[in-house]
Structure 1
């Protein structure tokens, strides 16, 4: 006989349906993302408003590790460096947003630089922003995982014959050259000083796509609709991840997990090796965002209560269309002769009163993963 173990408490909040407006988004001058990369070529295609691509000395290579089911570009040495002609002169403002993962955090690595007439005007390492005669350290709140880094700068206008944006290297204050060792998944370069609202839209898009939690922040869509309210959900703002679609940014995230931990993964339809392998339809403006309370992964049996994990997840959903999902839980010691249950509190209170809860027994077990299949998500509470 199988023993019953109740795990993974989830509860749900709904917000209004998303409506899209592209007028809130300023397209970047340069925009490189790994899903536009052709490893048979020596360049990285630019999908920004200018047609220039980033050229490399060698064939581009993908990293062996994905970032939230997305491939990324691997950088190892000088042969990995990519150079793109910057299409605007004179340069007075520069905003760069980069998603990267450092392989070795014990030493400093150059990530990108901007060259004016072959002299470095500014550059970024994994520890500081460099200017011609100064530098500005920035704290890495999370070590050893992918991060989103934002740099916004202004300069005195100087016309030049040559401006180039370089990925994978940076000149250090001692005049040495530092080459990046790690992965870059996406890089956006703007010829303007981005405002806070513009940055938040882009950060939210990247955070959902790559499973990177924003620090003490709301998540918003391209039209500024709130997808995750930090003030209301502060207790559950750990390891935030999600799925959703926003065509303004080309976001079509069909499955997601936090890069901070691989404990909970949710996918539209069925979880696949890569996001591009998943072909399940997700409606425009449909989102499912989740985070947990950082509780322990333990529970105590009691005659008066249901034995649930102390860790609870809050699900915040946007849109009303039905979305079939698969839930995958990573557990270190999975026992095949044991039932595992997903418990959903429909009240949205997180109290997990038995009268408000639905219970779903696991569908399958594979290695260290427990799967719950065909859970429907819609506003009629047929599922999430």
Structure 2
């Protein structure tokens, strides 16, 4: 007997004999039993088979949600008959679950009466008839996954067999617990699915439930007609936390709003206004339309460019449009509790371009300020698109009226200038533009459009001022450098304050005599090679020699202390104990603990890398609690108040 186990990330549920007139997941034939969660009321659910509720002797399960789709938190272990008496050349079982506990639990079981023949847990497949076991990767024992089981054997009679979803009969033959996570689709096919069939079924589930197919080897997403809707190799840099809106009638798939189930709410894209559930979204989508997106796995923290004065989110997203792609009214929503807060007087801005690059939106053609909506979301509208287009998008922060510069630098060996592009957002044309270098007015003109480009500027330090028709003014200092060129100096990348100060001074190459300037965290320009820093933050050294201008950014870190204050958002009142943490330490893994006034640790989790975390310690009693983060000999401490 040969078996193959495949795991990915997903959920869904109906009993069907194989028949061509009904839509089938991925358009794949041979589906004998399809169980899906069915909604009874706001809190109760039961399994559906052939769009009818199964007979579970009046028992119901708890209704939960994943990617705006109903899923089941099992409360009972009622068997569901398989009723399959004929022989077949094999079988495939596809099941979707989201395990939340690290203990071994029974996801589904097949057997007769109280005898278990086959059990799938969050750790392994257990063929108890033949005493064969297949382990899943340890990193996949929790979280949403697809588990696929294959059997190639002529003896596939299922007459008299039943399936238990989320539980097991009586005393199981291996010591496991009933399932305490979420359950979705459970599908039984009457043959071993081919790799291409598996790909179509997996793609259907991925889109429906906001899950990410394993991209350790680039894996395409396919429609029911086998057409390509996500080119895994082209889009590989953005293959994390994937989701999609789609309409595939041959699959019976209509996904009008979606987010990644690995990080719900960051972001959500919806056709029309966001609804409570996908089923009650009343918007429409053209037939055979797909937009699949993912992110580049960078931290959810701000990246400050001291040369151009921009502040952008490090993480970038990209999505691919395929199919008909008629005109659609799209909105994008962001859960503010999972984003680092902007600076005072700044707002979140969505930026988007259609360049096919790995670096995200480098020269955005669309920008929209996020508006605050309901339930902690902020949203913006999205532009129209078309088939074959690739969107790159992210967030920046800035005032109501802002100018975002981009600089296409040239190497020192080039005799040509670079190209400066200004994107004007939130203002009203016409605009007046003034660019100064020292006391000299380098450029002064009027603009009647929101985008301006010039190659008339050489490298140097410039002061930028733009005024719109309503009198709004944006001012900024920009530093235009060459692309990386000759090694004019040596300088470490980070320093520590000692006694409240640290001296920043480059080692100058003996064959060069550049002129130096420093840009401080507050964008102050200070001339000279040496700078005494008195505050932590990012500093930029600028060196100019014979028309070649290069720069290097260094970070000044706080003094080494055993305990330093920890800044939380919000840091005064945290209803239910939930708070937002912006973690920017790049060096190593850390441990977060929430401790009660009596010293009891009530919550502990690992911080694997920098980012913005939404911490939910599940505190049910009012009072104050200590929050600490430890790594090595370092420790940060803060306090939250639960009311």
Task: Answer whether TM exceeds 0.5 for this pair.
Answer: yes
Partner of 1:330: 335
The alpha-carbon deviation at position 58 of structure 1 amounts to: 4.0
Structure having the higher Rg: 2
Q: How does 1:1-384 map to 2 (within 5 A)?
A: 25-34=28-37, 36-38=38-40, 44-47=47-50, 54-63=54-63, 65-76=64-75, 79-90=76-87, 93-105=90-102, 107-116=103-112, 119-131=115-127, 132=129, 133-139=131-137, 141-142=139-140, 144-157=142-155, 162-170=160-168, 174=173, 178-216=177-215, 217-262=219-264, 263-297=266-300, 298-304=302-308, 306-319=310-323, 320-332=325-337, 334=341, 337-350=345-358, 352-354=361-363, 357-366=365-374, 368-373=376-381, 375-379=383-387
Contact 1:242–1:289 under 8 Å retained in 2: yes
Superposed CA deviations along residues 17-37 of structure 1, whole A, max 9, x for unmatched, are xxxx98952141001112x45
RMSD: 3.1
Cα separation, 2, equivalents of 1:375 and 1:363? 16
1:251 to 1:380, Cα distance in 2 relative to 1, 3 A? closer
CA deviation profile, 1:161-220 (whole Å, cap 9, x unmatched):
522233223468745574222221211111211111111111111011111110012111
After superposition, the C-alpha distances for 1:339-383 in whole angstroms (9 at most, x for unaligned) are 3211111223355443x53222223355643210354333598x9
Q: What is the number of residues matched between the two proteins?
A: 354
SS at match of 1:326: strand
Farther-moved stretch of structure 1 (308-317 vs 237-246): 308-317
Structure 1 residue runs of 5 or longer lacking an equivalent are 1-20
Normalising by structure 1, report the TM-score.
0.81
State how far apart, in whole Å, the 1-side matches of 2:358 and 2:115 are. 57
CA contact (8 A) 2:88 2:191 kept: no
SS at match of 2:143: coil
Label 1:329 to 1:117 Cα distance change in 2 as closer, same or farther (>3 A): closer
CA distance in 1, matches of 2:299, 2:176: 45
Q: Report deviation, 1:158.
A: 6.6
C-alpha displacement of 1:41: 9.9
Deviations 1:13-66 (A, max 9, x none): xxxxxxxx98952141001112x4546999633139xx9x74324422233x31
Deviation at 1:95, TM superposition (A): 0.9
- Which deviates more from structure 2 when the two are superposed, residues 161-170 or residues 196-205? 161-170
C-alpha deviation, 1:277, in angstroms:
1.8
Aligned counterparts of 1:201 and 1:129: Cα–Cα separation in 2: 23
Q: Contact 1:42 / 1:59 at 8 angstroms: preserved in 2? A: no
Structure ranking higher on relative contact order (CA contacts 8 Å, 6+ apart): 1
Relative to structure 1, the CA distance from residue 81 to residue 179 in structure 2 (aligned partners, 3 Å threshold; closer, same or farther) is: farther
Say which SS state the counterpart of residue 308 (structure 1) adopts: strand
Alpha-carbon distance between aligned partners in 1 of 2:138 and 2:267, rounded to the nearest angstrom:
24
Residues 56/140 of structure 1: CA separation in 2 closer, same or farther (3 Å cut): farther
Residues 339 and 365 of structure 1: CA distance in aligned 2, closer, same or farther (over 3 Å): farther
| Structure 1 residue 140, shift from structure 2 partner | 5.0
Flag the 1:232–1:362 CA change in 2: closer, same or farther, 3 A.
same
Structure 1 residues 379, 305: CA separation in 2 closer, same or farther (over 3 Å shift)?
Answer: farther
Distance in 2 of aligned mates of 1:292 and 1:158: 42
- Cα separation, 1, equivalents of 2:134 and 2:356: 44
Contact 1:101 1:183 in 2 (8 A): yes
The alignment's TM-score, normalised by the length of structure 2, stands at 0.50
Unaligned runs of 5+ in 2: 1-22, 393-643
Distance of 1:205 and 1:376 partners within structure 2: 25
Find the residue that maps to 1:199 and give its secondary structure. Answer: helix
Equivalent in the alignment of 1:18 = none
Cα pair distance change 1:151/1:296, threshold 3 Å: same
Q: Aligned partners of 1:159, 1:205: CA distance in 2, in Å? A: 28
Structure 2 CA distance, aligned partners of 1:164 and 1:103? 25
